[in-house]
Amino acid sequence: MSPIASYRRLFSLAGPLYVAVAFVARLPLAMAQMGTLLLVAGTTGSYGVGGGAAGALAVANAVGAPVAGSLADRVGQRSVVLVQSVLGGLGLIALVVLAHAQVVPWLVVATAGLAGAAMPQIGPLARVRWRPITREQAHHQPRLMEAAFSYEGAADEASFVLGPALLGLLVVVASPELALVIAASVLLVFGCAFALHHTARLTHAHRPAPHAGVRLLTAAFVVLLVAQLLIGVVFGSIQTGTTVLATVAGQAGVAGLVHASLGVGSVVAGLAVAALPPRFTYASRVLVAALGLALLSLPLLVTDTLATLFVVVLVLGFVVAPYMISVFMLGERSAPVQRVGAAMTLLAGATGIGYAVGSAVAGRLADVHGHPGAFTVTVGAGVSAAVLAVVAQPVVRRIGGPDPRPATQPVAALR
């Protein structure tokens, strides 16, 4: 089955409404962190408080997502995502209100953290739905699952390009307050629609009952968590280094566009992953992509103009999505079927923690050494990812071969 045919079959099985809802529902999370920074910094006059609030939202989301994922594994996605969408949307609105009420800073930061903890990780939860959605396609399911994870990787990258871009447009046209209220409204509408969509029921159907002996944190899965942590460090440090270079060049507003080019290259490469032959296993893909991260990040150390940086970041993006798609696919295969939701959200949470670590460390080094100091963190993370991929190949190859979960039990048609 060709990649185009695989995508057509996927979207036909799930329905165009589901595809649209699942994509739009991930935009609020992509908008919330930068929106919080701009809102709180503007109302308090302190970038320290604004950064603290944005960081609290990001870290709380990274920590809270696996908890919600585990709960969704036990009781189903519908009720969990519904509650998250409502609480997350209301949390963002409460943040806007409190930021304007001139309350003590710690209360604003705490509210941002609570809002972040409540917001659902739509991308990882959408990945969980594809195996039951494609269950009837027994002969084609391995290729359909590959296409599904390729699409989800590209969709995640696209959301983190379009989300901040939409936020920036709303801030320019109106204000950070309106931007966050719109993000909250989108979450309330599309997050709830994602929760209530009939595909949510399939994630809890035909699943063995959970039992105490089911282990998720195997050696292979820990390797995948570290791999995602490192790609998060790449994201955070690149954004910091790009911001520093753009600010020094007197074009701070261009930083977002340059950073977005990482996502553009990643989206294109992510969609193309479905065309790779099955003999090119996921373990091998992780290794090649990790080596690409190490090699393609090196030019950042000698980049000193925005034009050059744009090209370097764009090219680097072409190995990001293949890396993440392969890691998530290996995570889905290695996790017990009762705990796939927890596995996907843990991997996403590790990415978020890595982002926070990368931003913080790169920021410290940038204070002393400028943008080359920040990009040193990027290169270090890329080299570390390559070393990890090489050293862990024997472990990862055990789960990187043919799909170990062939479809064995049909489900009712979705429509």
Identify whether residues 189 and 325 lie together within a single domain: no
Between 414 and 54, whose confidence is greater? 54
Task: Determine the Cα–Cα distance for residues 121 and 65; give it in Å rounded to an integer.
Answer: 6
Cα distances from 360 to residues 180, 249, 301, 316, 377, in angstroms, run 24, 22, 18, 21, 10
User: Rounded to the nearest 5 degrees, what angle is found at the Cα of 29, between the Cα atoms of 95 and 69?
Assistant: 105
Task: Determine the Cα–Cα distance for residues 62 and 355; give it in Å rounded to an integer.
Answer: 10
pLDDT one-digit tens code per residue, 293-336: 999 999 999 998 989 999 999 999 999 989 999 998 898 888 88
Could you tell me the residue range of the domain that residue 80 belongs to? 1-207
Using the 3D structure, point to which of 150, 176, 207 is the last residue of a domain. Answer: 207
CATH number at residue 65: 1.20.1250.20
Residue 393: closest CA among 220, 232, 245? 220
Asked if residue 172 has pLDDT above 80, the reply is: no
**pTM: predicted TM-score of the whole model, two decimal places:** 0.81
Contacts of 209 (CB under 8 A, 6+ apart): 338
Residue 266: closest CA among 238, 245, 241, 243? 238
Using the 3D structure, point to which of 158, 182, 207 is the last residue of a domain. Answer: 207
For the chain, what is the domain count? 2
Identify whether residues 47 and 176 lie together within a single domain: yes
Asked if residue 375 has pLDDT above 80, the reply is: yes
Q: How many CA atoms lie within 13 A of 178 on its CB side?
A: 9
C-beta atoms surrounding 84 within 10 Å: 28
C-beta atoms surrounding 342 within 10 Å: 25
Identify whether residues 177 and 286 lie together within a single domain: no
In a domain, 306, yes or no: yes
Identify whether residues 198 and 296 lie together within a single domain: no
Identify whether residues 153 and 12 lie together within a single domain: yes
Burial track 110-119 (b if 16+ CB lie within 10 A, e otherwise): ebbbbbbbbb
Identify whether residues 166 and 199 lie together within a single domain: yes
Identify whether residues 83 and 195 lie together within a single domain: yes
pLDDT one-digit tens code per residue, 112-159: 999 999 999 998 899 889 888 888 765 677 788 888 888 888 888 888
Is 225:353 a contact under the CB 8 Å cutoff?
Answer: no
In a domain, 203, yes or no: yes
pLDDT one-digit tens code per residue, 262-275: 888 888 888 888 78
Identify whether residues 266 and 178 lie together within a single domain: no
Identify whether residues 73 and 173 lie together within a single domain: yes
In a domain, 409, yes or no: no
Identify whether residues 393 and 259 lie together within a single domain: yes
pLDDT one-digit tens code per residue, 40-73: 888 888 767 887 888 889 889 989 988 998 898 8
